[in-house]
């Protein structure tokens, strides 16, 4: 932490930020939903990640851009020494705009076009090839010359699923990578390296939320053993790097960070000690775990009502910002807090209440059956642990505009200072985005002969 910044507990920093946001009009009747990102929390997570992987093995920690594709957030992480993992041309351009050098990027998309692949190969961006067809495409693009940056193959160790199937990428039928347990697949990977001296990296990612660290370790052990097999076959250290992905689960149940990066790295060291002895350069691709617990969505309660004996609070934050929580509440539950109109934590006897969003369908709930002090119109509801995905992965249902996002730091006086990350989208911008400039095109087509 820099001079002049106090090290208050995260929950106290968050509470102060909500109150200050109300005070400054960043959250209120004219701005009924806002995203708040605790910069000190993000930097602390980066420090913890770096500390956990200290050792003889060189490590490039990259941030998975999909978790928060906002240029100021990416630039903060670049300034903190991170690299960036991108999985689309949009994410690549965001990362470049944020200041990441080509040598700090990893391109992971499972559907790279020839043009995207050519750009990456020409600029020395590390590329993880997803399949043998993509490998053949790289052969044609390179036309006999060596790649200018790290180039490897993504493998699927097929070790099984975690608690959330959609987040598990090492299942028997996952769409990602070369499935190593399929007949002949591992041999084909070894042969691919034998024939191409410029292949120098393996990549595996077992999954993210819901995947326990021992499952991740099992998948990385298989990847490490394959690297050893390749190097033994070719008689030299051709595989010099292993991209171990990310996937540290986030505890959404309370304030505690668990598991920690230290826990994660210790488990890998115990399961795959050779991975850390310095013979392989490592790459990580953490995303959610770096940002989730540093983010809060604040929203104004517009109305309260009862239905069937259940209290309901209608807010302005629903499926448009909390898409996964609304559609898969069992897998993506959020903690919720309630504050008075001045942004002060409310106290009093708990009542059972559903926290509903503004979207026009019945399931638009960010919390069902929450036990909270009495919620009233004008209060503020806070959705905790929303720093990853919730700010940047907007769902445009009902043409609801994207909310503003602010970063904050808490000074030695205990008062937060804000910096705008993304301005709120106006309703006019929503209309323009929906094809306003082409408003007459279909009518003209209808009338044409």
Catalytic residue annotation:
360
CA distances from 295 to 38, 124, 338, 408 (A): 6, 34, 16, 10
Place of tokens 């978790």: 67
3-class DSSP state for residue 108?
coil
Q: What sections of 197-354 are H helices per DSSP?
A: 213-234, 261-271, 288-291, 323-327
Q: How far apart are CA 56 and CA 59, in angstroms?
A: 9
User: Residue with structure tokens 């003889």?
Assistant: 56
Which stretches does DSSP call E strand in 149-240? 151-156, 178-179, 201-203
Q: For residues 298 and 381, is the Cβ–Cβ distance under 8 A?
A: yes
Are the C-beta atoms of residues 336 and 382 closer than 8 Å to each other? yes
Query: What letter would DSSP give residue 235?
Result: T
- Residues 187, 191, 197, 201: what is their CA dihedral angle, to the nearest 10 degrees? -20
End-to-end CA distance of the chain: 69
CB contact burial 346-379 (16+ within 10 A = b; e otherwise): eeeeeeebbbbbbbeeeebbbbeebebbbbeeeb
Calculate the alpha carbon distances from 405 to 268, 295, 400, 402 in Å: 36, 10, 15, 9
Nearest to 76 by CA among 407, 389, 387: 407
Strand partners, 178: 155
């Amino acid at each position: 932490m820099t001079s002049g910044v106090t090290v208050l507990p995260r929950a106290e920093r968050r509470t102060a930020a909500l109150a200050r946001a109300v005070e400054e009009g960043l959250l209120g009747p004219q701005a009924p939903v806002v995203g708040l990102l605790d910069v000190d929390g993000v930097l602390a997570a980066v420090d913890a990640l770096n500390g956990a992987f200290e050792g003889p093995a060189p490590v490039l920690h990259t941030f998975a851009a999909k978790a928060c594709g906002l240029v100021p957030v990416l630039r903060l992480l670049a300034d903190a020494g991170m690299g960036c993992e991108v999985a689309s041309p949009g994410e690549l351009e965001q990362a470049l705009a944020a200041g990441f050098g080509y040598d700090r990027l990893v391109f992971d998309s499972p559907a790279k076009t020839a043009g995207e692949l050519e750009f990456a190969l020409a600029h020395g961006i590390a590329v993880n090839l997803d399949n043998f067809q993509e490998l053949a495409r790289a052969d044609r693009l390179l036309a006999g010359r060596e790649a200018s940056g790290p180039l490897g193959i993504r493998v699927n160790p097929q070790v099984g699923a975690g608690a959330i199937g959609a987040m598990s990428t090492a299942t028997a039928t996952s769409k990602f990578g070369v499935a190593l347990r399929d007949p002949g697949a591992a041999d084909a990977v070894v042969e691919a390296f034998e024939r191409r001296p410029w292949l120098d990296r393996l990549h595996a990612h077992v999954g993210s939320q819901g995947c326990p660290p021992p499952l991740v370790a099992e998948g990385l052990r298989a990847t490490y053993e394959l690297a050893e097999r390749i190097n033994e076959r070719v008689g030299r250290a051709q595989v010099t790097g292993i991209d171990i992905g990310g996937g540290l689960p986030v505890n959404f149940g309370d304030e505690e960070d668990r598991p920690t990066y230290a826990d994660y790295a210790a488990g890998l060291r115990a399961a795959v000690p050779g991975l850390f002895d310095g013979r392989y350069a490592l790459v990580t691709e953490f995303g959610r775990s770096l940002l989730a617990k540093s983010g809060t969505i604040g929203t104004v309660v517009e109305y309260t009502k009862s239905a069937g004996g259940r209290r309901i609070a209608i807010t302005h934050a629903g499926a448009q910002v909390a898409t996964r929580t609304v559609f898969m509440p069992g897998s993506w539950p959020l903690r919720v807090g309630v504050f008075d109109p001045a942004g002060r934590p409310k106290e009093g006897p708990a009542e059972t209440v559903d926290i509903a969003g503004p979207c026009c369908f019945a399931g638009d709930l960010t919390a069902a059956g929450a036990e909270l002090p009495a919620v009233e119109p004008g209060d503020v509801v806070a959705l905790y642990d929303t720093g990853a995905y919730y700010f940047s992965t907007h769902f445009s249902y009902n043409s609801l505009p994207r909310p503003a996002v602010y970063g904050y730091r808490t000074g030695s006086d205990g008062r937060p200072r804000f910096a705008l990350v993304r301005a709120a989208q106006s309703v006019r911008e929503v209309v323009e985005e929906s094809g306003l400039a082409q408003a007459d095109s279909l009518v003209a087509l209808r009338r044409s002969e």
